[in-house]
Structure 1
Amino acid sequence: MSTTPLNLDAIEARANAATPGPWMADGHEIYGSGCGVLDIEQWKAETLRIEDPEGAKADAEFMAHARTDVPALAAEIRRLRAELAELRAKTLTTEADEIVLHCPDHSPQDQDGVWMDCHCAVAEDMRQRAAVTAPAAPVAR
């Protein structure tokens, strides 16, 4: 497993440059589909596992489905990244608010039970990090 971050722009560019899908597998061969009918003019590839015909069929199914699976997975990764960024920003903001709430110098509340010295600079730093990690508006693909 690679630790290199996925370059979704490059992955989507390769998917967008490929022949439009969906593709279909017929045995060990892969075809583009025109109205759900296999057409020899839409032939894309074939797998060559002569010693393992069932494996060749499985490879062809995988490759045919990759045509639609890869863009769907890239879109899901983008959605999850945006959701994670939003949750991080909310968490940082909530924690910053909690710090200020308990600040003996800046809290609007009664100071009985204050448990720390002023850490409002930490709270401000958290708010700035929250603003940086907040997701931008999703890009329509």
Structure 2
Amino acid sequence: MTTPDRPLDLDTILARATHERLTPGPWRLERESCDCGGDYPCGHGMYVTGVVTPTPTYFAAERCKRSGEQPRDYDFHRIDIGDFTDADWELMAHAREDVPALAAEIRRLRARVTELERPAVEAKRAEIRQSFVELSAQCEQDRDYEGAFNVQCQLREREEQWGAEDAANCPGFEKEYQGVSDAKRRLANCKHCGQPRAKHPVAAALVEA
């Protein structure tokens, strides 16, 4: 994972993912249903029998080269250790750490982009919010109370939409907000995105709910 003392090594990850000796993709898992129970369902369900690739295994390719025959369906089915190259195994062995590290880095960068865009987003929202307020006030001035109510409902829908957008950009916020005490909710900033909790439109919706 990416930490201050261990930065993400993108060059190494990319080298593993683009090695010239990698078996071409896409790869697909082949599964079969367990029938060890005979006439009675064993309950084991489906299990992986191998990996299917667009190219035949090395031994199948050599056999076809010598005999001149075309590869058969099972020639693309890799089930033995020797059916994969060293580069394949390096990629698979490191995927357990590479994928979470890359996902964490993407989340970090998305959060940073959201942080940089936040002032412009809030300014635009404030402009839209003000237009709704003015329209509602005009309806009340004209004694069009039904129209004012409709405008307020539209504003509430827009606020809920913004809340959903913020929750999507900060997926940990809503879960945390629903599961903590009021004292923790009053803390200044969301620990997930660093934004003031009061600026999360989703917070108001959760409180009212």
Normalising to structure 1: TM-score of the pair? Answer: 0.35
Larger strand proportion of the pair: 1
Return the index of the structure with the highest Cα Rg.
Answer: 2
Larger helix proportion of the pair: 2
Normalising to structure 2: TM-score of the pair? Answer: 0.26
